[in-house]
C-alpha cells in the first residue's frame, strides 16, 4: 500500500493554478516585476512606477538607481498595447527629472521613441491640441516641436495627415507653437497651408496686441518665413501690416524684435524689386 501511495503522489497535477495576485510593496520589488513574462503584471508594475515617480524627483532618481529605465525602454516595444502605454507614461514622468533625462540620452533611446510616435504620425497629438486640459495641450505641443526638431526638416508640416499642425486651432500665442511654426514654415507647402487656414492673419493679430509683446520676436520670425510666399506678401500690404513693421523698427531696447522686423522688411523689399524687374522684362 505504501508503494502505491508514493506512486500516486508522484503523478503530476494537470489542473492549473489560478492566477496569483502579485503586489509590490517596495520600489525594488516593482522594478523586478518589470521583467515579468506576465502581461498583467507588467501593466500593473508600469502603473506603479508611474504613480511612484509622480510623487517627486527623489523617487525618480531612486528608480533610476534601481535600474528601472532599461526594462521600461524595452517595454515600449511590447506586443501588448496597455503595457506599451503604461511604459511610455512611466518613462514620460521620469524624464521630467534632469538626471533621468541625461540617462535616457546616453542610452540613445530617444530616436526609438520618436520612431514609434512617427508610426502613427503626430495626428493624434494634434487632436490633443483641442484638449481643455492645459497640461495635455502644452505637452502635445512640446512633443510636436521635438518631432520637428529631431527630423531636421519641416516634414511634419508637409504631411497631409498632419497639416493640422499649422491650422487655426494651433494656439499661436504659445511659445512652443511659435517655435514649431518657425521650423515648419520654412517649407513652401506648409506656408501655403498656414495661409489658407488664416494663420498669417492670426500672427498679425498677435503683433497688434501689446499683451503678447513677449511673443513678438518669435512671431516676426514666422512672418519672415511666410513672406517667401507671394500670397502672404499681398496680405502684409493689407490692414496696415507694413506700417506695424515700421513701428517695431523704431521700438527702443528690443534688438531681437528689430532684427526679425528687418528680415521681414528686407523680404518685402526684395519681392517688390523682383516683381518690378519682371514687369519691365515683360514690357
The predicted-structure confidence for 124-167, as pLDDT tens digits, reads as follows 677 777 777 777 777 777 777 777 766 554 545 544 444 444 44
- Distance from C-alpha of 130 to C-alpha of 136, rounded to nearest angstrom: 9
Alpha-carbon gap, residue 233 to 227, rounded angstroms: 5
Distance CA 264, CA 255 (A): 14
Rounded Cα–Cα distance for residues 188 and 166 (Å) = 13
Grid coordinates given for 186: 520654412
pLDDT digits (tens, 9 = 90+) for 32-56: 999 999 999 999 999 999 999 999 9
Mean pLDDT in residue range 55-82: 93
Q: Compute the Cα dihedral for 139, 145, 148, 150 and give only its sign.
A: negative
> Does the structure show a pLDDT above 50 at 113?
yes
Distance of CA 94 to the CA centre of its chain: 16
Look over the chain and give the mean of its residue pLDDT values, rounded to a whole number: 77
| pLDDT of 275 over the 80 cut | no
- The closest of 158, 162, 161, 160 to 143, measured between CA atoms, is 162
pLDDT at 12 over 70: no
Distance CA 80, CA 186 (A): 39
Q: How far apart are CA 262 and CA 226, in angstroms?
A: 14
What are the start-end ranges of the E strands in the chain? none
Q: Which range (19-28, 81-90, 162-171, 251-260) has the least confidence?
A: 162-171
Q: Hey, what's the torsion of the CAs at 239, 187, 268, 241, to 10 degrees? A: 20
Residue of 44 and 274 predicted with greater confidence:
44
- Provide CATH code, domain 24-120: 1.25.10.10
Amino acid at each position: 500500500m505504501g508503494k502505491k501511495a508514493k506512486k500516486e503522489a508522484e503523478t503530476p497535477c494537470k489542473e492549473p493554478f489560478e492566477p496569483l495576485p502579485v503586489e509590490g510593496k517596495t520600489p525594488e520589488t516593482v522594478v523586478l516585476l518589470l521583467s515579468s513574462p506576465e502581461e498583467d503584471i507588467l501593466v500593473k508594475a508600469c502603473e506603479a512606477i508611474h504613480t511612484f515617480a509622480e510623487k517627486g524627483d527623489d523617487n525618480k532618481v531612486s528608480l533610476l538607481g534601481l535600474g528601472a529605465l532599461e526594462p521600461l525602454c524595452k517595454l515600449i516595444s511590447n506586443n501588448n498595447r496597455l503595457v506599451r502605454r503604461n511604459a511610455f507614461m512611466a518613462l514620460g514622468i521620469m524624464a521630467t527629472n534632469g538626471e533621468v533625462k541625461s540617462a535616457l540620452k546616453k542610452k540613445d533611446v530617444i530616436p526609438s521613441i520618436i520612431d514609434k510616435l512617427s508610426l502613427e504620425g503626430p495626428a493624434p497629438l494634434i487632436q490633443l491640441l483641442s484638449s481643455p486640459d492645459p497640461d495635455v495641450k502644452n505637452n502635445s505641443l512640446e512633443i510636436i516641436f521635438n518631432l520637428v526638431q529631431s527630423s531636421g526638416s519641416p516634414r511634419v508640416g508637409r504631411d497631409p495627415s498632419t497639416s493640422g499642425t499649422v491650422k487655426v486651432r494651433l494656439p499661436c500665442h504659445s511659445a512652443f507653437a511659435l517655435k514649431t511654426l518657425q521650423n515648419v514654415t520654412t517649407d513652401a507647402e506648409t506656408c501655403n497651408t498656414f495661409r489658407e487656414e488664416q494663420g498669417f492673419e492670426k500672427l498679425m493679430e498677435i503683433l497688434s496686441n501689446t499683451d503678447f509683446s513677449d511673443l513678438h520676436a518669435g512671431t516676426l520670425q514666422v512672418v519672415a518665413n511666410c513672406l517667401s510666399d507671394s500670397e502672404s506678401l499681398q496680405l502684409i500690404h493689407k490692414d496696415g501690416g507694413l506700417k506695424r513693421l515700421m513701428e517695431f523698427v523704431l521700438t527702443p531696447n528690443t534688438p531681437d524684435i528689430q532684427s526679425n522686423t528687418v528680415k521681414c522688411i528686407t523680404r518685402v523689399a526684395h519681392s517688390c524689386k523682383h516683381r518690378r524687374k519682371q514687369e519691365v522684362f515683360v514690357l
